[in-house]
Structure 1
């Protein structure tokens, strides 16, 4: 950690967890304020008021705040109104995206050899951009590996058109995760005359994100497939591979290639415009629920931080982003970064991402900027290691344990690290299963998902850990104020060249808006 930032951080986090002191008055431009007092102005009760508003918006709009729906538009209006009133220069950045939702709950039933009904979102799940249809047909396996290879991501099931030689048109194609993306598999099956597609997990045992037996949640990237496509657990898929199996598959969906939604971008009017400190969180939920943990929690924390910082004469320029269409593949943040010139990218010295920071069965995860665990995704761009160290210092100072979580590219930091902008942030877990070791470290229940309401209607205001929200609100505010006044930012130079290897992996370990690939 660079010296000035370290000194400011230690001062800030000494009392940062107690986020209930009076709002700090504006400081003179010549002063170098203590970030401790500033971070304490960000109060958890105020953060929870924003969460309550998001819940109210969802309740009034069919239970969802998904991009392309009135619930998301109402969320945009609420956030933008608050930020304008606090003095920010607010831009509503509109873009088109391929909208998707399930109209009615999908059904997957085995008709023969013995009747069985599979549980939606437990045994199987509709893939994003699946087509619609109700079919009852024989199941035909396509180049399956049963029992599975001991090597993950080795199956080529359905990846080549030649895999469908001898496929009977009208059958339901059963394929296995591995090697190529789900869109390729589904399009190959459709071209072979399949009436439906079931893609099940590959089958290798493992811990958390590395367990390839769990429910496969995925996306087809765009609505090019017009037949039902679902993901399934390894157990369900291997069961359906039995000879003589017939299945009823019923899926009803809506897709729209040209639906519009918006990002909210708010920039302070103070500080050096050549040194931008950027914080972001996605504002949209999935269509199935109100998205209060995912990601009302991150949105509410950075919103309240922005409101408390709006009047301050910061050294560096603060910019806050509330992304649209994250749940459909980081579309809002990708649109934003793609529209930046080289000069505009160079002005962004760091990006902090907060996606699911109050999971009820939480761990306290810090994005692994330096690849210190030597597993999974590589290190972030230069400077990401310093951001990781800042959050580590925060947790150590308030005597809280923490773990690293990989930059898998599956939340809104992805487009930023792809163009070399230093990044970091926090994540408390999604649908992955908490290990006994994690339960011993953080409390909670081993063998249970970090967020058992992940991407479901029960992700309500009741689905929040107050302790995790309090801890991480302090972390968000501390990082914002330390970097707002820092003389030596991690991204002090021009961003590095485009970084490869930021996509894929991490199912359950990182926020999952639907795997696009194997």
Structure 2
């Protein structure tokens, strides 16, 4: 890509020697032109991957002491928050701990479901850690319960309709006319959100709800749905085949779920430097919470720790622009922390944020170096980011190009904390090394690793420990994060126009249909 004058020409010193040391940050990472003065260069060089690993070890120790997790609303997240806050205060930041309420969910043990009659049989469950997918799965925010009752079909479309969302099963209270309280409602995916179906079933007196997939191509597998808010009855999702089987006769089912589903309070951490123009805020962030299945050291201890190491190095350095760093909570539940923060900002304060940089999973073991596609240069998938996002992309592209390190693009698909920022027109960018997606042969040729395997085979699992960190990916991405922070901290010409005019149009263009919630997962 062409580099604009504001990015200028990058340069590298002793790169080959640096790349031979996987835990040593490239000591002469790519710099913008005009080159940083010696103090700025020294500052970038001082931010090393071993410092990041020290923070990662602390997060691992916190998880180890708190049931193996650091999820929002748990003691593990509280301890992670306190660790970050203590480091930031010592580094000289003004720290804000921002509380917000959210719907907490945890599946404590594997659910069970069996047909009691006719023809008794047990169905294969999906365990809480998601390590395998069975014939049914507990929906996020399902209530806890142990019931045996008759199934009652609710306005099913069998055989399936011609298009997705042909079924409207359970979307209207009238669908439950004649429903027998104490029965289990058998529902089909389609038309409305899962929560509407579950709440209507609960209101009709159902003791549980089973929602099966719709049946068209792409909608046959086991539903692993997200209700979005707590309900009191057990709710599970099944494949189309299981639902069709259960619907075929008068059926009695035993269903047991073991969950915690309730509202809790969690916290974002926001750190403002005491230097720079308060009307020109350069912001970077990472989510601090894990899922409830594991410690989340790559997802997203890696981005959190790298951001913290950069913040520590810059806290007492006078900069031209104001630096702001954020550690979001409840990202794993749908970007709740970053969304709350952006929604809470007065328009005048939002206008001061000139760009947002997002770092979510920067050390995946079977990594690819992915840069958010700010200009939609691939012309596929999600559109370009707000004006200025293209310039952020170019900075990261030139960083990796200068190191002769391959890279590729990744869409702004709304699956991480840049989402609320681009929705209000703030230029954004960042880095990502891949999650549960499968590495292509082309990527294996470019980055090494194993084609046909996930970027992170421990994604959202208990094995996402410090052993799940790739040191080379961590080192090079830490260099990129440090370089972007210093370049923008001292830049006289920040990316993008000072406008949010396209925000409403973009929000409309990227909005989902809202028909069903299948849960958020990274690429």
TM-score category (smaller protein): 0.7 to 0.9
User: 2:207 aligns to what?
Assistant: 195
Relative distance call for 1:190 and 1:4 in structure 2 (3 A) is same
- Residue 508 of structure 1 is matched in structure 2 by none
Structure 1 portions without partners, runs of 5+ = 25-29, 206-210, 506-511
Which residue number corresponds to residue 405 of structure 1?
A: 410
CA distance in 1, matches of 2:93, 2:336: 24
Determine the structure 1 residue equivalent to 2:355: 350
Q: How does 1:412-423 map to 2 (within 5 A)?
A: 412-423=417-428
CA distance in 2, matches of 1:293, 1:139: 42
Q: CA deviation digits over 1:66-118, x for unaligned, max 9?
A: 22222111111111111111111211122222333233332334556333432
Query: Could you say what the CA RMSD is over the residues aligned between the two structures, in angstroms?
Result: 3.5
Q: Which structure 2 segments of 5+ residues have no match?
A: 29-33
The residue number in structure 2 matching 1:220 is 227
The one of 24, 28, 31 equivalent to 1:20 is 24
> Using the alignment, how far apart are the partners of 2:14 and 2:236 within structure 1?
46
In the TM superposition, 1:308-387 aligns within 5 A as: 308-387=313-392
Q: CA deviation at 1:256?
A: 3.1
Does the Cα contact within 8 Å between 1:409 and 1:504 map onto a contact in 2?
no
C-alpha change, 1:345 and 1:245, in structure 2 (3 Å) is same
- Contact 1:409/1:503, CA 8 A, preserved across alignment: no
Partner of 1:509: none
1:78 is aligned, of 55, 74, 83, to 83
CA distance in 2: counterparts of 1:253 and 1:371, whole angstroms: 41
- Shift, 1:430, TM fit: 2.6
CA positional deviation for 1:315? 1.9
Change (3 A) 1:372 1:31: closer
Separation in structure 2 between the aligned mates of residue 429 and residue 158 of structure 1, nearest angstrom: 37
Q: Is the contact between residue 112 and residue 123 of structure 2 (CA under 8 Å) also seen in structure 1?
A: no
Question: How big is the shift at 1:166?
Answer: 6.5
Q: CA deviation at 1:57?
A: 0.5
Distance between the aligned counterparts of 1:271 and 1:277, measured in 2? Answer: 10
The TM-score, its normalising length taken from structure 2, stands at 0.83
Tell me which residue corresponds to 1:429.
434
Give 1 or 2 for the bigger CA radius of gyration.
2
Partner in structure 2 of residue 128 of structure 1? 140
Equivalence for 2:171:
159
Aligned to 1:60: 65
Distance 1:38 1:327, change over 3 A: same
Aligned length: 499
Structure 1 CA distance for aligned equivalents of residues 168 and 13 of structure 2: 52
Sort the Cα spacing of 1:301 and 1:277 in 2 relative to 1 into closer, same or farther, 3 A.
same
Alpha-carbon distance in 2 for matches of 1:22, 1:356: 19
Q: CA deviation at 1:345?
A: 0.7
**Cα distance per residue 1:268-314 (max 9 Å; x no partner):** 12222111110001111122221111111110110111112223222
Q: After superposition, give the CA deviation of every residue in 1:245-284 in whole Å (9 maximum; x if it has no partner).
A: 6543211222332x22221111112222111110001111
TM-score (norm 1): 0.84
1:331-384 deviation line (CA, Å, top 9, x unaligned):
221221122111111110011111122222333322232233333333221112
From the superposition, tell whether residues 77 and 402 of structure 1 become closer, same or farther in structure 2 (CA, over 3 Å).
same
Q: Identify the residue that residue 257 of structure 2 maps to in structure 1.
A: 251
Pick which of 156-165 and 49-58 moved more.
156-165
Match of residue 194, structure 2, among 161, 179, 182: 182
CA, structure 1 residues 52+155, in 2 after alignment: closer, same or farther (shift >3 Å)? farther
2:31 matched residue in structure 1: none
- How do 1:414-493 and structure 2 match up within 5 A? 414-493=419-498
Give the equivalent residue in structure 2 for 1:87.
92
- For residues 374 and 213 of structure 2, the distance between their equivalents in structure 1, rounded to whole angstroms, comes to 29
